[in-house]
Amino acid sequence: MIEVRELTKYYDGLAAVDHISFEVEEGEVFGFLGPNGAGKTTTVRMLTGVIKPGSGSVSIMGFDIRRDPIKAKQIAGVVPDLSNAYSELSAWGNLQFMAELYGVPGTDARKRAEELLTKFDLYDRKDHKVKTFSKGMKQKLVIAMSLMNDPEILFLDEPTSGLDVQSARLIKEMVRELNNDGKTVFLTTHYMEEANDLCNRIAIINHGTIVAIDAPEKLKMRIGGMQRVEVSFDTPVDVSCFHSISGVISVRRSGDKLRFYTNEPGRVIYQLVDYSRSNNLEIVMLTTLTPTLEDVFVKLTREQK
């Protein structure tokens, strides 16, 4: 669906994106994660034909973005990283403008605009200028605009950034629905939980290079020593009391809980139960946690430094 080979972009002699290669399969939600300045937006802009690659190639459903930019762009929908509907036009006006830009016939455009506005709960405001909309409404409209041409591939650059919980949830639900309908989604996000929930595979980019690509759970398995046991006692206990526990890599306090990083969670649990008995403490809560995507992200991006 999307094939990227040795894609590179330099700005003032510095590599913003440095010989990256990956493929996105049809019907996949592909997450693209990276810290600020890692090269995410530059990559998305090259994939969507907004800027020209320095070298390397991008193919969207077989259309090379440099040789056939119009055909490649025709089958994609794009949500750039900032809300950018025309504020002086109405929601309806923005959708019709997008339809005209993508050559969607008038009747289809009107039908699709009605469907999308209803779906995004904006139909009542269809004739209002976008400048009167809240941030969440604008973002929903921008996503609706990107769907006017019924794209095969959807590029979403930080679609839920700065949105309230309800709007973000609606957008995530919409991504799931689109994916269920067979659409391919290329999602750039800062939110690890969002990537974890939505993506079939994730690429992590740092300093312009890809440090890992895999399914979220496989990525989590890659990093050892990151399993955790969390415990909370009825009486506060100092971290220093647990330095003698074997099998623990490190101990940290997290609110009213103690967090033990370990490769042997079972062994640690036994010792914690023994400790509570011998010190006459009651265990209020005890749980084991596997590494999160955030742990993977932090570890991989730190390792590269």
Partner 1 sequence: MGVDEMMDQLKRACAIAKKDIRIYYLNGPVVIFGILVPGFLFLAFVIGRDLPINFLVAGLLGMTVFFTSTSVTPVIAPTETQTRNLERLAAAPISITTALFGDVLASAFFGIAISLVPVLLGVAFGVTITHPFILALGIVLAAFCFSAMGLIFSSIPTGATSTVMMLSTMVRFPLVFISGVFIPVGDLPSWGQALASLSPLTYLTDLCRYSFQDINNHYPVSVDIAALAIFLMIFMAAATKLHERSLPKRL
Contact code string over 194-213 relative to partner 1, x by CB under 8 A:
--------------------
Q: CA end-to-end span of the chain, whole Å?
A: 32
What phi, psi does 62 have (nearest 5°)? Answer: 90, -10
Task: Report the alpha-carbon distance of residue 84 to residue 131 in Å, rounded.
Answer: 11
Among 73, 138, 172, 228, interactor with partner 1 by CB under 8 A: 73
**Under rule CB under 8 A, residue 80 binds partner 1:** yes
**Under rule CB under 8 A, residue 51 binds partner 1:** yes
Closer Cβ to partner 1, 142 or 192, answer by number: 142
Please, what is the minimum distance in Å from the beta carbon of residue 93 to partner 1? 7
**Under rule CB under 8 A, residue 101 binds partner 1:** yes
Q: Looking at 42-50, 180-188, 255-263, 294-302, which segment touches partner 1 (CB under 8 A)?
A: 42-50
**Under rule CB under 8 A, residue 12 binds partner 1:** no
Among 70, 165, 235, 305, interactor with partner 1 by CB under 8 A: 70
**Under rule CB under 8 A, residue 83 binds partner 1:** yes
Closer Cβ to partner 1, 103 or 182, answer by number: 103
Q: Looking at 54-62, 89-97, 115-123, 231-239, which segment touches partner 1 (CB under 8 A)?
A: 89-97
Q: Could you tell me which residues come within 8 angstroms of residue 227 by beta carbon, excluding any fewer than 6 positions away?
A: 261, 262, 263, 265, 288, 289, 290, 291
Please, what is the minimum distance in Å from the beta carbon of residue 263 to partner 1? 46
Burial of 291 (0-12, 13-18, 19+ CB in 10 A): buried
**Under rule CB under 8 A, residue 50 binds partner 1:** yes
**Under rule CB under 8 A, residue 159 binds partner 1:** no
Closest by CA to 45, choosing from 9, 94, 15, is 9
**Under rule CB under 8 A, residue 87 binds partner 1:** yes
Closer Cβ to partner 1, 85 or 251, answer by number: 85
Is there a contact between 186 and 30 (Cβ–Cβ < 8 Å)? yes
Residues that bind partner 1 (CB under 8 A): 45, 48-52, 69-71, 73-74, 76, 78, 80, 82-89, 93, 97-98, 100-103, 145, 155
